[in-house]
Amino acid sequence: MSGFQTNSRVIKWIEYRMPVFSFLNHSIGAGYPAPKNLSYMWNFGSLAGFTLVIMIVTGILLAMQYTAHVDYAFDSVERIMRDVNFGWLLRYIHMNGASFFFIVVYIHMFRGLYYGSYKAPRELLWILGVVILLLMMMTAFMGYVLPWGQMSFWGAKVITNLFSAVPIFGEGIVTWLWGGFTVDNPTLNRFYALHYLMPFVIVAVVVLHIWALHQFGSNNPLGIDPKGPQDKIPFHPYYTAKDSFGMGVFLIVFAAVIFYLPNYMGHPDNYIPADPLATPAHIVPEWYFLPFYAILRAIPDKLLGVIAMFGSIAVLFVLPWLDRSPVKSGRFRPIFRIFFVLLAIDVVVLGFVGANPPEGAWLITGQIATFWYFLHFLVVLPLLGVFERPKPLPTSISEPVLKGGGSLAGAPAKPMEKA
């Protein structure tokens, strides 16, 4: 029961029959002890859950007005924008919410990468996170098809066509995915059905992700295990208060984009109705796919390109076994930190490459960046685990400053996170 107490008779009555309150208390309440030194970087997990809820709520409301048919989809979106009460707001929230969901999740992932949150005993937690990322990508991709603009159509065509690279069965798979011989009404219908279904699959995996999280609790900026009650504070009210503040900051940025730059992250071509006979000059996916798109196009061979693109995510699944360093936090890994920054730059470079046609300098840059991406995970991380000499770790979260024994001069651990 984690010491759950109440005086309310109603709550006691329910609690006796179904212990939902002690469950909540244990999940996100006072009964869940968390490390006391979590920085603001730890806000992005709950923020991702919050964004998921925003997407589901706005999505359901939009679904009440949307028509999944090639002849009416574009018109129905315009009707939402013009005639539905606050339809423009719902649609701009949903459209930009996808981008913000990815921003939040990418930050959440880079935080995990830096602080070694994927290491034992949190491997499954990390893997479930990568599963969520994959589900998100599928959902976002199919959602982008629904307005049935030019980029919707041609993006769907290009991405589904990737499966034609599969030997022997390729063409058959693509026809099966399309439900016909080109991207057409059956494709739109099934994408809509799946786009509605997938978020609930994501919710299910999020539950598993949180379940796995609660087994050992959050990692922390020092990457060492809490040694006792003095290293922990209850999730509520401490982290509920901190996460709420972070959510406020997030909403300010989100609202600024929704109300003042709603089409900034979109592509103008998607305000042109889909035309199967007119190919846009440049087919570009949404920004959050650009690094992966760059990896796809860096390799001249179609099948190998597809394999590399999926491999760039597959490598994340085995990350806990590639990085063998016993030290979790990047703070105590002087060389790892340099490579971490290089990886972040590399991914950004890949993003820019993905936005540009694969020619000349862009192609070569893309190839180098792709090579570096895989080199980082497959060679650099395993080698660092062997050759890197980590800085001495603090003895506990409450006493992070080492007393003697620190052979590396001038390497005092950082004082605790400011509240």
Partner 1 sequence: MRKGLLFGLAALAASASLPLAGPAVAAEEGPALPKLEWSFDGPFGTYDRQSLQRGLQVYREVCSSCHGLKYVAFRNLADLGYSEDEIKAFAAEYTVTDGPDDDGEMFERPGAASDYFPAPFPNEKAAAAANSGAVPPDLSLMAKARAGGADHIHGILTGYEDLVPDAVLQSIFEHETMKNEEKYEADLAEYNDKLEAYNDKVEAGEQARRPLEPVQPQPIESIEDLGLAEVSNFNAYFPGYGIAMAQPLYEDGVAYADGTPATIDQMAADVSHFLMWAAEPKLEDRKGAGIKVLIFLVVFTGVLYAAKRKVWKDVH
Spatial CA neighbour of 151 closest among 263, 292, 279: 279
Cα–Cα distance between 196 and 293 in angstroms, integer?
Answer: 25
Asked whether position 82 contacts partner 1 by CB under 8 A, the answer is: yes
Catalytic residue among 218, 312, 325, 329: 218
Asked whether position 272 contacts partner 1 by CB under 8 A, the answer is: yes
Cα–Cα distance between 198 and 195 in angstroms, integer?
Answer: 6
Asked whether position 65 contacts partner 1 by CB under 8 A, the answer is: no
Contacts of 126 (CB under 8 A, 6+ apart): 112, 117, 118, 316, 319, 320
The yes-or-no answer on residue 417 being catalytic is no
Binds partner 1 (CB under 8 A): choice among 26, 157, 242, 297 = 242
What mask, x for binding partner 1 by CB under 8 A, covers residues 138 to 167? Answer: ------------------------------
Which pair of tokens denotes residue 391?
């800085």
Quote the least distance from Cβ 410 to partner 1, whole Å: 12
19 or 412: CB nearest partner 1: 412
Asked whether position 401 contacts partner 1 by CB under 8 A, the answer is: no
Which pair of tokens denotes residue 228?
């006792």
Measured CA to CA in angstroms, residue 392 lies from 228, 331, 338, 402, 412 at distances of 20, 10, 18, 8, 9
Asked whether position 94 contacts partner 1 by CB under 8 A, the answer is: no
Q: Any idea what the Cα angle at residue 342 is, between residues 338 and 348, rounded to 5°?
A: 150
Quote the least distance from Cβ 109 to partner 1, whole Å: 10
Residues 332-351 touching partner 1, rule: CB under 8 A, are 337-338, 340-341, 343-345, 347-348, 351
The yes-or-no answer on residue 236 being catalytic is no
Asked whether position 106 contacts partner 1 by CB under 8 A, the answer is: yes
Spatial CA neighbour of 114 closest among 340, 416, 283, 277: 340
Spatial CA neighbour of 269 closest among 284, 287, 288: 284
b/e sequence 131-170, b meaning 16+ C-beta within 10 Å: bbbbbbebbbbbbbbbbbbbbbbbbbbbbbebbbbeeeeb
Asked whether position 331 contacts partner 1 by CB under 8 A, the answer is: yes
Cα–Cα distance between 278 and 291 in angstroms, integer?
Answer: 26
Quote the least distance from Cβ 208 to partner 1, whole Å: 26
Alpha helices in 224-333 (DSSP H): 240-260, 290-298, 302-317, 319-322
Q: Which stretch binds partner 1 (CB under 8 A): 27-35, 118-126, 162-170, 277-285?
A: 277-285
Contacts of 175 (CB under 8 A, 6+ apart): 181
3-state secondary structure of 195: helix
Measured CA to CA in angstroms, residue 110 lies from 5, 19, 66, 115, 341 at distances of 38, 36, 36, 9, 10
Catalytic residue among 15, 286, 346, 417: 286
167 or 228: CB nearest partner 1: 228
CA of residue 230 relative to chain centroid, distance: 32
The yes-or-no answer on residue 243 being catalytic is yes
Binds partner 1 (CB under 8 A): choice among 221, 320, 366, 400 = 221
Asked whether position 279 contacts partner 1 by CB under 8 A, the answer is: no
Quote the least distance from Cβ 230 to partner 1, whole Å: 11
Asked whether position 230 contacts partner 1 by CB under 8 A, the answer is: no
Q: Please identify every residue annotated as catalytic.
A: 214, 218, 242-243, 286
User: Which parts of this chain interact with partner 1 (CB under 8 A)?
Assistant: 36, 39, 41, 75, 78, 81-82, 88-89, 92, 99, 103, 106-107, 110-111, 114, 221, 233, 237-238, 241-242, 244-245, 247-249, 251-252, 255-256, 258-260, 262-265, 267-269, 271-272, 281-282, 284, 287, 290, 330-331, 337-338, 340-341, 343-345, 347-348, 351-352, 354-357, 414, 416, 419
